Amino acid sequence: MSGLAAAFDPFEGPYQVDPAEALRWSRDQLPVFYSPKLGYWIVSRYDDIKSVFRDNVLYSPRNALEKITPATPEAMKVLASYGYAMNRTLVNEDEPAHMERRRVLLDHFMPENLEAKQEMVRRLTREKIDGFIDRGRVDLVEEMLYEVPLTIALHFLGVPEDEIERMRSFAVAHAVNTWGRPTPEQQIEVAHAVGRFWQYAGEVIEKMRADPDGEGWMHYTIRKNAEIPEIVTDSYVHSMMMAIIVAAHETTSLASTNMFKTLLTHRDAWEDVCADPSLIPNAVEECLRYAGSMVAWRRETTAPAQLGGVELPAGAKLLIVQASGNQDERHFEDGDKFDIYRDNAVEHLTFGYGSHQCLGKNIGRLEMRIFLEEMSRRLPHLRLAEQEFTYLPNTSFRGPNNLWVEWNPEQNPERANPALRRGGVHFPVGAPLRKEIARKVRVTAVRREADGVLGLTLEDVRGRPLPRWSAGAHGELCLGEYERKYSLCGRPDAPGYDVAILLEEQGRGGSRYLHEVVRPGTELKLRGPNNLFRLDESARGYVLVAGGIGITPILAMADRLKMLGRDYVIHYAGRSRASMAFLARLESDHGGHVRIYSKQEGERVDLPAIVGSLAEGAQIYACGPARMIRALEDLSAELPGNTLHFEHFSAQGSGLDPEQESAFEVELMDSGLTVAVAADTTLLEAIRAVGIDLASDCCEGLCGSCEVTVLEGEIDHRDLVLTRSERAENRRMMACCSRAKSGGRIKLA
């Protein structure tokens, strides 16, 4: 075991300062490791964390609310004296009980039922800001971010508001009790507070039972407890009453505090939000990714498991560190940078993932958006005051105890323009739409890279550095309806992004527009960068194969491999030398490594020979026309699964013809729903229509971002992402384009 694993202590040192940074070494070297100080296995990479969340049978949530520091016998005695019997709620309940209960209790959280809450959040936020706007200096936690989420939470639950003060002292005790490391003396004190909270939760339930028609989710839960006590049990109601206060309130208060701290320390982002409130939904998502309030969650294996190359025994306790996964470079390009234009920020793990994914995520989002909208409109000159931040030491909940901010009230814009006091932008409930997220870039150089190939250099319109990117990454240029991905192919240290655009005679006109209209100085919108064609840097050798414009990601890969001093060869085929971009650069930078094949000169790339002579442990990276990729697939069918990696630059077909398609049904096991997919609807659209967030990107079966897990049923695969062997396994499909075979029924995770 490495010394770093032995030294890992989540209650002090680097993890308390910055959990993502504290686990950078683990993400890079040892993504799953045992921490003897905690008695838990720590999981730090995005994909591993997501796969744990995804499988709630192998990785049971039953330990999610367990005391992470076992209680001393004295503390146990104190707890027992209060009749403390914290048990299963939703978040720590196993299947099938969990899903049965979740489905019964889901309705209140549906977006259509939350719309009406916006007004109340807005009103409470305004009242708070009215109260301090002329003061010039406040602790935002004390003045707003603690109390408003608590009031909203109690209102949502239907708990009488006169209980606010008592709730407040209890919540901290519950957090320390569950996720902290109190000393033996503190354990006694905490046990008394928790015991009182437990009794008090019981009293609140009794009070609520006396008002059987009361509003709010807990009233509803209590009614369901009377109707179906075998599903919504007594023990559940009491335990939930205690847990939900922290779940609904503490999470949102801390996330909002982190949000203001992060934005005010990234002044450019704050100013962008003040100037353009439409950026707010994604800025909130990026704050949840970069500095979420829930940094680590727990699971326990129910059988031996393999995770991140490590064998875990049955009964292994896992601390899955979302804060670390959220900054994993393997999923988020330039992951440790805060970037409100990041178009996949919404894929963060702060709300968990899968069947237990936070039910209240849209309430949290809604509050954070309104806080940010009101503050940035009324106090754009807000600054962070000099201060030392303090945190409650624990594994999971993160956010400073106080947040001192200051401003000059003389400059409050509403003194000159009182209309600013009201106004406000309305954001629809739910995840932000990806199509609305893009950064503005300016073309700084235009080149002719080859016949019909235009080279552009793009830089941020305000001259700020663009995010770093990794070999194989692409950016997406957006021109009105036209959206097209282009691999980044510049030198890695260059300040701007280089792309090469092939004029597509048969295309939708976007490439022609770019070829004809773009000049140095033209402003464009760019989404990304994202990387769906990653280089596995641990291979023993590399064969890079490019056809035509497919050279662009291959060039970036070659640059990277050269920098790493690795063994690589490039095979580059094209119609004619005149039509092949980057020949001169390839010659100068990769001279001895390149083989060029020009069809015009009768040269053909010999794919069978290339695959046949592949050294053991070497990998092939290919980008080019579908024909070339399919040939490589056939040739490498017998080779180990990780040998061939490819990216297409054109999709087959598009659109759905209801005459040709059949409707089908899909059962979504994680959310317990059955969804009908009509003949003219994609599976992706049908899943989204029932309120489930599912990432997507190309919507053409190219990018792999809409992948879903298949449990049962025959699939008509229409994507260009899965390899033949992956299709044969029948374990995954692309929801944007693939369907059930001839009207059959399928089951997805």
Is residue 703 a contact residue for ligand FES (CB under 6 A)? yes
Closest CA to 546 of 597, 507, 475, 511: 597
Binding mask 196-235 for ligand HEM (x = CB under 6 A): ----------------------------------------
Size of the site for ligand HEM (CB under 6 A): 28
Could you tell which of ligand HEM, ligand FES, none binds residue 561, using a CB distance below 5 to 8 A set by kind?
A: none
Residues 6+ positions from 620 with CB-CB distance below 8 Å: 542, 543, 544, 545, 610, 611, 614, 632, 636, 643, 644, 645
Shorter beta-carbon distance to ligand HEM: residue 363 or 748:
363
Task: Examine residue 699 and tell whether it contacts ligand FES (CB under 6 A).
Answer: yes
Q: How many Å apart are CA 182 and CA 203, to the nearest integer? A: 27
Give the residue among 622, 618, 557, 613 at the shortest CA–CA distance from 590: 557
Which of 239, 682 has the CB closer to ligand FES? Answer: 682
Contact between 453 and 549 under an 8 Å Cβ cutoff? The reply is yes
**Does residue number 697 form part of the binding site for ligand FES (CB under 6 A)?**
yes
Residue 64 phi/psi, 5-degree rounding, is -60, -30
What spatial distance separates the first Cα and last Cα of the chain, rounded to whole Å?
35
- Which residue of 44, 252, 257, 531 would you call a contact of ligand HEM, by CB under 6 A? 252
Min. distance of Cβ 125 from ligand HEM in angstroms? 15
Sole binder of ligand HEM in the list 360, 400, 452, 496 (CB under 6 A):
360
Q: Smallest distance from the beta carbon of 254 to ligand HEM, in angstroms?
A: 8
Tell me which amino acid residue 239 is. S
Residue 734 interacting with ligand HEM (CB under 6 A): no
- Residue 482: which H helix or E strand, with range? strand 482-487
Helices of type H across 210-312:
217-227, 234-245, 251-265, 267-275, 280-290
CB of 438 to ligand HEM, least distance (A): 25
- Each residue 65-94 as x (binds ligand FES by CB under 6 A) or -, in order, gives ------------------------------
405 binds, among ligand HEM, ligand FES, none (CB under 5 to 8 A by kind): none
Q: Which residue in this structure is represented by tokens 């140095």?
A: 520
Q: Does 53 bind ligand HEM (CB under 6 A)?
A: yes
> Quick count: other Cβ atoms within 10 Å of Cβ 448?
11
Strands (DSSP E) contained in 368-472 are 383-384, 404-406, 439-450, 453-460
Residue 721 touches which of ligand FES, ligand HEM, none (CB < 5 to 8 A by kind)? ligand FES
Q: Does 141 bind ligand FES (CB under 6 A)?
A: no
Euclidean distance between CA atoms 251 and 357, whole angstroms: 14
Residue 297 or 486: the one with the smaller Cβ distance to ligand HEM is 297
**Contact status: 738 vs ligand FES (CB under 6 A):** no
Out of 237, 241, 283, 294, the only residue in the binding site for ligand HEM (CB under 6 A) is 294
Contact 735, 684 (CB under 8 A): yes
How many helices and strands, by DSSP H and E, does the chain display?
28, 28
Footprint on residues 318-357 left by ligand HEM (CB under 6 A): 350-354, 356-357
Rounded Cα–Cα distance for residues 184 and 181 (Å): 9
**736 counts as binding ligand FES under rule CB under 6 A:** yes
**Binding of ligand FES at residue 157 (CB under 6 A)?**
no
Q: Which does 467 bind (CB under 5 to 8 A by kind): ligand FES, ligand HEM, none?
A: none
Question: Is the bond preceding residue 640 a cis peptide, omega within 30 degrees?
Answer: no
CB of 119 to ligand FES, least distance (A): 35
Q: Is the separation of the CB atoms in 640 and 611 below 8 Å?
A: no
Least Å from the CB of residue 156 to ligand HEM = 5
Binding mask 640-679 for ligand FES (x = CB under 6 A): ----------------------------------------
Q: Say whether residue 557 binds ligand FES (CB under 6 A).
A: no
From 335, 337, 328, 333, select the one nearest 308 (Cα to Cα): 328
Residue 112's CB is within 10 A of a number of other CB atoms, namely 9
| Window contacting ligand HEM (CB under 6 A); options: 2-10, 289-297, 595-603, 621-629 | 289-297
Q: Which of residues 292-331 bind ligand FES (CB under 6 A)?
A: none
| 547: contact with ligand HEM by CB under 6 A | no
Site for ligand HEM in 64-93 (CB under 6 A): 90-91
The partner in contact with residue 297, picked from ligand FES, ligand HEM, none with C-beta cut-offs of 5 to 8 angstroms by kind, is ligand HEM
- Of 371, 299, 337, 321, the closest CA to residue 147 belongs to 371
Our CB check for ligand FES shows the closer of 580 and 733 to be 733
The residue count for binding ligand FES (CB under 6 A) is 14
Is there a contact between 84 and 195 (Cβ–Cβ < 8 Å)?
yes
How many angstroms separate the CA atoms of 702 and 680, rounded?
Answer: 20
Should residue 46 be labelled a site residue for ligand HEM when binding is judged by CB under 6 A? no
Residue 454 near ligand HEM by CB under 6 A: no
Compute the least distance from the CB of residue 56 to ligand HEM, in Å: 8
Query: Please, what is the Cα angle at 352 between 351 and 356, to 5 degrees?
Result: 110
- From the list ligand HEM, ligand FES, none, partner contacted by residue 20 (C-beta under 5 to 8 A by kind): none
710 in contact with ligand FES (CB under 6 A): no
Closest CA to 690 of 676, 711, 679: 676
Q: Centre a 10 Å sphere on the Cβ of residue 305 and count the other Cβ atoms it contains.
A: 19
CA distances from 592 to 561, 568, 572, 609 (A): 14, 10, 13, 19
- Taking the least distance from each CB to ligand HEM, the nearer of 52 and 458 is 52
Q: Is 236 in the site for ligand HEM (CB under 6 A)?
A: no
The total number of residues written for the chain in this structure = 749
Considering only residues 133 through 192, tell me which ones interact with ligand HEM, judged by CB under 6 A: 153, 156
Position among 124, 721, 746, 748 found at the interface with ligand FES (CB under 6 A): 721
Return the number of other C-beta atoms located less than 10 Å from residue 19's C-beta.
Answer: 24
| Residues making contact with ligand FES (CB under 6 A) | 696-699, 701-706, 719, 721, 734, 736
Binding site for ligand HEM (CB under 6 A): 53, 61, 90-91, 102, 153, 156, 247-248, 251-252, 255, 292-294, 297, 350-354, 356-360, 363-364
